Amino acid sequence: MLESFIGALLLEGGYNSVLVMVGLGLLGAAAGPVGTFMIIKGRPLLADAVAHATLPGIAAGFLLSLFLTGDGRNPIYLLVGATITGITAAGAMHLLKDGIRIGEDAATAATLSVSFGAGVVLLSFIQNLPTAGQAGLNAYLLGQAATMTQGEAWLVLAVGATTLLILFLVFKELTISAFDPIGAKALGLPVRLLDLLTTALMLLIVASGLRAVGLVLILALLVTPAAAARFWTDNITRMTAISALLGGLGAYLGGALSTAISGIPTGALIVAIMSSVFGFSLLFAPKGGAIAVAMRKHRLTKHIQRLRVLGRIADGVALAELIKVARHYGWADTNGRPTMSGEIAAKSWAKEEKLRSLYLTDRPEEANRITLSLMPLHRLIPRDVLADLERRSS
């Protein structure tokens, strides 16, 4: 098993295997950025609804292929059927939201339930057909990259590469319209068209990834890398790049594992890897990870306590419940009276607060950066500005 896994990672499994692995990597790398914009727009469940809406299309394609060719597992019929019902579902959600003007969540829930219910009915009908041979549909439900044909692998590779190219060309416009659609309209950008483009790219990812990841788990390929990337940065450009990296690596490793471990769907392995990355990011990411956030809150709490102590010493107010904190820093004796070092620290704090007040009077737009920082003022502003403030305060 280990040899098979390493061989797949090193692209030593033959032409078709290499094609599948590269295609999966590109598909994951494209899915991450598309998921980033879906999250920014507040529409992660749109992908889930469209993915589940492909089920009746797959079933209908199976029946049509069975009727016309005698074999219901023709991938062209299945993918075309899935694409048609996916587009129909996306159009129905846009129509319900913009035309009838019901809530987006309600439109998504209605589309998902109706389409998935129709798919379940058709699947039940297929199971009762004596010549159906439903085994071919399982790969579209849970994904099985190891059994993809050369044509399916080329389709996944082409969609991944095309999506990445489109995102690169219109990244700036997509970013502006996602964060500020009103401002984007004022700049003359086609916000509606850009919104439809995002949906179309998501549809391409879903339709092409069904065979590799499966309709049940395709949402994880779109959303999980973007959600994990959000813990590492607040910058949209870096977030998009990180989500592409995580999505590409997760899909590539999942595809390699699926060739080495028989009997486990590719989609499940990819989701397991993505979930592990998300869990690691949730805990250990230095920007938004739970541990980093807890440490920042702890430092902020202690900083506020120090400021309260210095403020009371400067104002000559009794320390009361802050005596323990003051003694910890050597700013008060056992009786709660300020020490010499406490007096000096309080005077220094009072001077800095006066300088901060002067600076924010001149530049109120910097209030958040200055007041929320734990660093002293001289590390936040230029030296010449600080010298001017000291001159004016003296």
pLDDT in tens, 54-109: 889 888 888 888 888 877 777 788 888 888 998 888 888 878 877 676 777 788 88
243-257: pLDDT as tens digits? 999 999 998 888 888
Spatial neighbors of 302 by CB under 8 A, at least 6 apart, are none
| 208 has a pLDDT exceeding 80 | yes
Contact between residue 153 and residue 20 where contact means Cβ atoms under 8 Å apart = yes
The predicted-structure confidence for 334-366, as pLDDT tens digits, reads as follows 888 899 999 999 999 899 888 988 988 888 888
Distance between CA atoms of residues 238 and 158, nearest Å: 24
- CATH 1.10.3470.10 positions along the chain are 2-287
What angle (nearest 5°) sits at the alpha carbon of residue 391, between those of residues 387 and 394?
135
Q: Which pLDDT does position 370 carry in this prediction?
A: 83
Write out the two tokens for 156: 């996944």
Angle formed by the axes of helices 191-213 and 171-179, to 10°?
A: 110
The pTM for the full model equals 0.82
The reported pLDDT for the residue numbered 128 is 78
Q: Which of 1-15, 36-50, 327-341 shows the lowest per-residue confidence on average (mean pLDDT)? A: 1-15
* CATH number belonging to the domain at 2-287, selected among 2.30.40.10, 3.40.50.300, 1.10.3470.10, 1.10.10.60: 1.10.3470.10
Angle between the N-to-C axes of helices 44-69 and 15-40, in degrees from 0 to 180, rounded to the nearest 10: 140
Q: Is 381 left (phi over 0), alpha (psi -120 to 50) or beta?
A: beta
pLDDT confidence of residue 11: 65
Nearest in space to 335 (alpha carbons), one of 314, 317, 320: 320
For residue 362 the two structure tokens come to 């001149």
| Better-predicted residue by pLDDT, 259 or 296 | 296
Mean pLDDT of 220-242: 93
Which residue blocks in 170-235 are alpha helix, DSSP H?
171-179, 181-186, 191-213, 218-230
